[in-house]
Amino acid sequence: MVGSGVIGVLALQGAFEAHREVFRRLGVASVPIRTPQELEAVDALVLPGGESSAMLRLMEPQGLLDRIGKKIQGGLPVLATCAGVILLAVEVTPHQKSLGVLDVDIQRNAYGRQVFSSIEPLIFNPAFDGTVTTKGVFIRAPRLTRVGEGVEILAWRKEDPVLVRASGILAATFHPELGQGSGLHEFFLKHMDRPV
Ligand code: GLN
């Protein structure tokens, strides 16, 4: 299972430390990832929230984004939150580079500016058996504008899909690491296993 391997957390920018803290609470070690070399040693990867454009700028010069894409195509399990989901999408609005490994389209900052960031009730698909955190923290959150056929929706905010899964990828447009509980991280450790 993922939980018995090495969890890498992309640690260039954004809310990476909060993810590492959740794993610490669960008794699972994680390592910060800042270079393609560090990526080689991990069995699963977390792409945190933050600013996807800033992350892209920090990754591009060292080819880190493309390396992450190759590893995901090769089966590396990924937990992506917020900006992390933007990095994985097929089409990003307004347009910016993305990996296209998760069959969704996404609109950045779709719920408005920082002042409209909010904590919203979530509706879960019964297929999600994590300890349910009933609310999601949305910070300048993106919105999934298209979800491909092979992508399973695990939670909604009103009508909007906000938590999805496709093979080894678990993606949330909210910030589970800033909410209470560790249900999503536990679900990732338990279910998102794939041979690497
Ligand atoms: N607005 C950010 C972006 O477009 C995402 C916000 C977040 O990760 N909380 O990258």
Tell me what pLDDT residue 181 has. Answer: 82
The confidence band for 2, taking pLDDT boundaries of 50, 70 and 90, is: low
Tell me what pLDDT residue 196 has. Answer: 36
- As a whole number, the mean pLDDT across the chain is 91
Q: Is 177 noted as a catalytic residue in this protein? A: yes
Q: How far is the CA of 75 from the centre of ligand 1 (A)?
A: 25
The dihedral through the CA atoms of 175, 163, 118, 138 has a sign that is positive
pLDDT digits (tens, 9 = 90+) for 21-70: 999 999 998 999 999 999 999 999 999 999 999 999 999 999 999 999 99
Task: Write down all domains in the chain, each with its CATH number in brackets.
Answer: 2-191 (3.40.50.880)
Q: How far is the CA of 140 from the centre of ligand 1 (A)?
A: 6
Q: How far is the CA of 174 from the centre of ligand 1 (A)?
A: 9
Q: How confident is the model over 132-143, as a mean pLDDT? A: 88
pLDDT digits (tens, 9 = 90+) for 158-196: 999 999 999 899 999 999 998 778 889 998 998 776 433
- How far is Cα 123 from Cα 49, in angstroms, rounded to an integer? 21
Tell me what pLDDT residue 151 has. Answer: 97
Say yes or no to pLDDT of 133 above 80.
no
Tell me what pLDDT residue 194 has. Answer: 43
Q: Is 91 noted as a catalytic residue in this protein? A: no
Say yes or no: CB of residue 169 within 6 Å of ligand 1. Answer: no
pLDDT digits (tens, 9 = 90+) for 103-130: 999 999 998 877 778 899 999 998 887 6
- How far is Cα 118 from Cα 141, in angstroms, rounded to an integer? 9
- pTM beyond cutoff 0.85: yes
